[in-house]
Each structure stands twice: as structure tokens, then as C-alpha cells.
Amino acid sequence: MKTGPLFIWPFVALPCLASGQPNATSVASPPVAQPCCELQSPRFRFDAGAPLLAPAGVAPDGTVCVGTADGYIHLIGADGSYRWSYSVHGAVARRPVFAGELWYIATSAERIYALTRSGTLHWVFKPPAGVASELATDASGVLYFVASDRFLYGLTGQGGISLRAQFGVPVAGPSAAPDGAIWLENAVGSRLSIRDHVVRRYAPDAPHELEFATPNTLRDPEGRIWSATATGGLGLSGAGSEPCSFTLTSSPLFTPAWSAAAHYVVVSARSGLVVALEPPHHWAR
């Protein structure tokens, strides 16, 4: 189900519709605290209209995709304008991923949806078991995930299975390396990489080419480290400046995402709040 086109510019309030259409600005959250350094005004605030179980995703062009616990997908432009909504079966359980002109959405109803840029359904894939990891795509656009049957799967842009490999219980990844390769780690410390459709396995004590990010943290391309907390706080460190922190909301925050196109960090909270923040002036490069 899709709603009709409706554009909501940042900081212009609009009532939330009964169909689940989001409210872009009327967010009931405490004011931003600035205990350590001056935080610039948010580029936009968006209220998804329902709680979130997973963080928002960001496409290379800066558009932001967020999915809710009641099964709605919302797309937001890089300027904070509302683009479209789409309803799915189940709660959105993982961060949406964009690749090859498609948004990939995993839900608790054991489905993976592929949606186009315009918000139409391209295909739905029902995996053999529920998705038990994050989603990631390699340089060729293949989508990877680990299912609850402990197998790693690869899906093509047409929704066909390109890989099925025994993996185990995932504890990190899949994550895309700068060269487009995919890396994962399982519960016994073994790692697996996929590069140019070639799968390699590494023993727990073998040297690795990729270090996984610390949970709930993001290192942006300019070396800043953004850390989200369960109490609604956002920390900022690195890049040669003194660490500082901000209180965004009382709701737990998910791992932030960086928008290279718009040069801001996207922070989402369990309450449904999505905020785009530029680095403070003296942190900008």
C-alpha cells in the first residue's frame, strides 16, 4: 500500500495521517543539550509515526529510508522532504540498504522486499529462514545476509539466490569493505570474505583485512566518531578535537549512518525520531 505524493519541508508541521503517513517535524522530544560544544541546528527532523526496531539507511544520493515496527517504509529526501511510504508484512527488523537502484528491506515476517526509488514493489523474496543479521551489498550489487538456519545467502538484483554457504551464528557483519568486498564473523571467531564472487574462510587466529566497527558507533570519512547511547545521547570524538556529547531524546538511539552526499550524520531513535545533524562548526573540515 502506498500513500499519495506529499512533500513536507523541514520545520513545517503537518498532522500525522491515520494511514500511517509520517509527520516530518512535530517530534515530542527534549531540546538538544550542548554540554561540550555548540551543535548546529538539525538539517531536518522526521517522525516516522511509530517505534523503530532498526536504524534508518542512507543512499549514495542522500535519501534516507526508515522502516517501522508496524510495517511502514518511509523515504525522506536529503533535504528532509517526505517522498513516499509503502506498507510491508511484519516489522522492519534491519537497516534498509540501497544498491542497484533498489531499496532492500528485511522484515520479521521472513520476507525481503526490493523497492524502487519511486516506492514501487520490484520483488519479494521469502528466505528459507528468518534474517538473523544485517544486510549488505558488494560492489556488484549482490545482497548478503545470514539466516536463522545459520547459512549465508546472496541475492541478485532480480531476487535470485546466487550463494548459499554454511556460516554459523553471526556476531559481526556482513559489512562492506572500501574495496566492495563483504566480511562476516561468526560466534567462534571465524571470518568469511566474499570478493568477486569468491568466498574465503579465515581461522580465528588468521590476519584479517577489515576491523568491524564498535557496536553503536560510526566513523565518518573525515575521522569523526559518532557514538549512540541507550539513553538518547550522541557522543562525538576524534578528528583532533575535544570529545563532546549531546542529548537528542530520552529514547535509545541506533547506530548512526553517514550521508556523504549531504555531509551530515543520520541518527534514529526507537521512538521513531530521525534527525540529520551536521558536525559542529569547529569539527567541520
In a domain, 150, yes or no: yes
Structurally, how many domains does the chain consist of? 1
Q: Report the pLDDT value the prediction gives residue 246, as an integer from 0 to 100.
A: 85
Residues (pLDDT < 70) of the chain are: 1-40, 208-210, 239-240, 281-285
Residue 138 resides in a domain: yes
Range of the domain at 61: 44-283
Report yes or no on 23 lying in a domain.
Answer: no
pLDDT at 208: 67
Q: Give the CA dihedral 108, 253, 63, 42, nearest 10 degrees.
A: 160
Distance CA 255, CA 267 (A): 7
Dist. CA 225–CA 126, nearest whole Å: 36
Does residue 6 lie in a domain region? no
Query: Is residue 18, in this structure, part of any structural domain at all?
Result: no
- In a domain? residue 85: yes
pLDDT at 281: 65
Tell me what pLDDT residue 137 has: 94
pLDDT at 285: 53
Q: Does some domain include residue 33?
A: no
Sheet holding 264-268, edge to edge: 44-47, 273-277, 264-268, 257-259
Share of residues in the chain with pLDDT > 70 (%): 82
Q: What is the pLDDT of residue 212?
A: 79
Confidence at residue 284, expressed as pLDDT on a 0 to 100 scale: 54
267 assigned to some structural domain: yes
Residue 239: per-residue pLDDT = 67
pTM above the 0.85 mark?
A: no
Q: What CATH number does residue 160 fall under?
A: 2.130.10.10
pLDDT at 38: 62
